[in-house]
Structure 1
Amino acid sequence: MASSTSGEREKVTSKLPGQLRSRVKVRAAEHRLDMQDVVAQALQAWQQAGPRPAANTSGAPPFSTWLAPGVYDTFKAHCADRKVSYIQGLAQALELWLADHPSPQEEHVATPHPRRRILANQKGGVGKTALTAGIGQAYAEGTEYGGPAQRVLLVDFDPQGHLSTQFGVDNLALGSDSLVKHMTGEAQGNLADLIVPIADERFGDRLHLLPACADGFVLDVKLSTIRAREAALERALEPLESGFDVIVVDCPPSLGLAMDSAIYYGRRRPEEKPAASGVVIPVQAEDSSADAYTLLTGQIEDLRQDMRLEVDYLGLVVNMYDSRRGYIATSSLQAWQEIGDPAVIAVVPDRKEQREAVRSKQGLLVYDPKSDQAAAMRKIAGILS
């Protein structure tokens, strides 16, 4: 990607996939915009939105447009920060612009589906629970605190119950009604009756938790005996969906049938746009996380192919990062960033505030809302909005 200056604008020459260019030209005409204005809007939105999924730019033909002085230099700096090529950055920006500017000819039908974020990794100890709690809180924060004030359901799908414990909520007693019983056809009541509000002025009445139950340890065995087991979690949660804008699921460190059900729940439904729902993968900057990542993505790809599903990777979160740990940490972070798709959407520092919040049985954004980790949670929620 190169530029040359003439008058009040500078000519920018790059490459752009032909199909993407055609889509943008048509959409620009529908919105009565010049291509150069579309590109300028797209670059600005891309820079503000944070890392995006990688775009396919192979075999792209040349493309040029005119931009105001300084726009190109700012764009280059953002590309350097994200370690993407200028061609890749431009393609991502225009894909984002298309998503934000639907065709006026399309009929837009509101759907009751909440956005679903599935926090998954086969490896334990990578911080799935902390991220589930933090992201959920960030979505639910009131507008007076700078949050989007959305209705959030946190689902403790891990029978160990760490998410429930973090908020000071008791796990459901063995033998009582539970999410597992609703998944396996043994329900004893209304699942909505099990939901616990997380009370704090930051969240109003918008943050809720579905607690864990130890019967989840036998869920894989029970699922093996029922039909359409991949859809079991969806069947259980679907009656609750209209009451929430976002559902965040804290998955167990497992590659069994329960994980299949969670991945299926996060699939792209027919009415949904790409990346409206999907899987967020917490990892750490060390070698064993890479092995676990390979196992998880293998399971997702198998499910995709076997059931012909669209499952979107919403991104990687490198959690509990500390560069002082030396070469292993820094080189592992670089390796995660070089994957490209899914992209690293955030690096969460290893700080004591999260551990203190858990010990005090408070959400991080209540315990220390100004901490670096709290800021990272808000950043992730913003990127995934």
Structure 2
Amino acid sequence: MTVPYDPSDREKVVAKLPAGLRKELKVRAAELGKDIQDAVTEGVEAWRKTKTHPVVDTSGGSSFATYLPAGLYGKLKDDCKRRSLSYNQGIAQSIRLWLDSNPSPRPKAPRVTGARRIIFGNQKGGVGKTSVSAGVAQALAESGNRTLLIDFDPQGHLTKQLGYPMFDIDDASLAKHMLKEAKGDLGELLVPIKGGDFEEHLWLLPACKDAFLLDAKLATTKAVRIKETALEKALESLEQDFDYIIVDCPPSLGYSMDTALYYARTRDGEDPGTSGIVVPVLAEDSSADAYDMLYDQIQDLIEDMEVDIALLGFVVNMYDSRKGYVATSSLDEWNNIGDPPVLAVVPELKDQREAVRVKKPLLVHAPYGDQADVMRTVARRISA
């Protein structure tokens, strides 16, 4: 099982911090490509070496958890006691010191292509495309990125798991906009996903019950290249409003997947790896067989359309080494592929299942759990 740190070397600590300080820490850590726990550790170590710091307003604080090297937690508490400070104030001052010592890097020049487009796909169902795409979108938004999460699967699991209704078959929808059967602005269909430190940065485009018809209608259209370009043309008006557009794809190799793959291609003037596909898999053989079929589809599209589609990496989901040789040897095989790389391994834990049950985003239900931390790792790696 993958965890952020070996429990024998690290220990979990919990404090109450104001939302503004938590958000600033998460954004800055993402900007600098650093794990949050490492940033806090650096702050605590620097804080212990200096004697005076401005008081941080911790009123209205809520739970914040991280990991510190074993023994450092106790030393921090001893220092707080000697300085007549609360433990919460010591942690807050440490984080404030790290933020002040690690300023935000200069903003990058605006991208003429608009949002970075990341699709999550695998022909095999049940591998966790929905949970991984949703978790990564939350992590990107938590880091201050305006993020749009699209439920492109006609089953609508993403929409339902987040507690939103699917559009009715007669309503306007993404599918209808793709087929030019809808009037109005697609942006009117977006709903904000509330809660956690990503609030005001994350939106959902829900699924619609008519999406099952999309493949058949794309197959029968006579318009040249509409099969491949339909998703791009529908979303074009939204791209300048977002930093990332995340697409939860259907478990199929049909025309819908073709149009999603084409949408994630590397556009003219776009740096390689800016957009592309992430493939969630399981540590077992059927995932490898499904990936082989998806890979062939990607290569066919690359050749037919003369485009480049970046394979950003695998996320090995629901991994549990206690399942024995099948799981461990399969994980080794995913790692041995090398290119694309394994971006992260998501441990088999109850957090995501519970979040689905209560219809809450993972980073709201269990924001400091191991699965949430892995989602932040994936977000950091694909945004680097």
Fold agreement, TM-score > 0.5: yes
Which residue of structure 1 lines up, in the alignment, with residue 300 of structure 2?
302
1:125 and 2:126 correspond: yes
1:258 and 2:259 correspond: no
Q: What is the deviation of 1:203?
A: 1.6
**Aligned AA (2:158):** L
Q: What is the alpha-carbon distance in structure 1 between the residues aligned to residue 111 and residue 178 of structure 2?
A: 27
Which residue of structure 2 lines up, in the alignment, with residue 95 of structure 1?
none
Q: Cα gap change, 1:136/1:109 in structure 2, threshold over 3 Å: closer, same or farther?
A: closer
TM-score by length of 1: 0.70
**Aligned AA (1:151):** R
* Candidates 186, 193, 199, aligned match of 1:191: 186
The aligned runs of 1:11-22 (5 Å cut-off) are none
Q: What is the deviation of 1:204?
A: 2.7
Moved more, 197-206 or 296-305: 197-206
SS of the residue corresponding to residue 198 of structure 2 reads: coil
Which residue of structure 1 lines up, in the alignment, with residue 341 of structure 2?
343
SS of the residue corresponding to residue 236 of structure 2 reads: helix
Q: Cα gap change, 1:209/1:287 in structure 2, threshold over 3 Å: closer, same or farther?
A: same
1:222 and 2:220 correspond: no
The aligned runs of 1:69-218 (5 Å cut-off) are 110-141=111-142, 148-218=143-213
Q: What is the alpha-carbon distance in structure 1 between the residues aligned to residue 358 and residue 187 of structure 2?
A: 27
Q: Provide the aligned length of Structure 1 versus Structure 2.
A: 279
Unaligned runs of 5+ in 1: 1-47, 51-99, 101-107, 142-147
Q: What is the alpha-carbon distance in structure 1 between the residues aligned to residue 244 and residue 273 of structure 2?
A: 13
Moved more, 220-229 or 179-188: 220-229
8 A contact 2:196–2:364 mirrored in 1: no
Deviations 1:100-134 (A, max 9, x none): 9xxxxxxx774142111110000000000000110
SS of the residue corresponding to residue 202 of structure 1 reads: helix
Which residue of structure 2 lines up, in the alignment, with residue 7 of structure 1?
none
Q: What is the alpha-carbon distance in structure 2 between the residues aligned to residue 374 and residue 244 of structure 1?
A: 23
Q: What is the alpha-carbon distance in structure 2 between the residues aligned to residue 201 and residue 124 of structure 1?
A: 28
Instruction: Please report the RMSD computed on the Cα atoms of aligned residues, expressed in angstroms.
Output: 2.0
Identity, % of aligned pairs? 56
TM-score by length of 2: 0.70
8 A contact 2:113–2:270 mirrored in 1: no
8 A contact 1:49–1:383 mirrored in 2: no
Deviations 1:200-251 (A, max 9, x none): 2512311000000121111111111332220000000110111110000000
8 A contact 1:157–1:252 mirrored in 2: yes
Q: What is the alpha-carbon distance in structure 2 between the residues aligned to residue 353 and residue 302 of structure 1?
A: 38
Which residue of structure 2 lines up, in the alignment, with residue 288 of structure 1?
286
Unaligned runs of 5+ in 2: 1-32, 36-104
Q: What is the alpha-carbon distance in structure 1 between the residues aligned to residue 110 and residue 183 of structure 2?
A: 35
* Candidates 343, 350, 356, aligned match of 2:354: 356
**Aligned AA (2:137):** G
Q: What is the alpha-carbon distance in structure 2 between the residues aligned to residue 121 and residue 216 of structure 1?
A: 18
Q: What is the alpha-carbon distance in structure 1 between the residues aligned to residue 360 and residue 111 of structure 2?
A: 35
Deviations 1:22-71 (A, max 9, x none): xxxxxxxxxxxxxxxxxxxxxxxxxx689xxxxxxxxxxxxxxxxxxxxx
Task: Provide runs of 4+ in structure 1 moved above 6 Å.
Answer: none
**Aligned AA (1:134):** G
Q: What is the alpha-carbon distance in structure 2 between the residues aligned to residue 339 and residue 49 of structure 1?
A: 26
SS of the residue corresponding to residue 116 of structure 1 reads: strand
Q: What is the alpha-carbon distance in structure 1 between the residues aligned to residue 349 and residue 192 of structure 2?
A: 27
Q: What is the alpha-carbon distance in structure 2 between the residues aligned to residue 109 and residue 333 of structure 1?
A: 38
8 A contact 1:159–1:213 mirrored in 2: yes
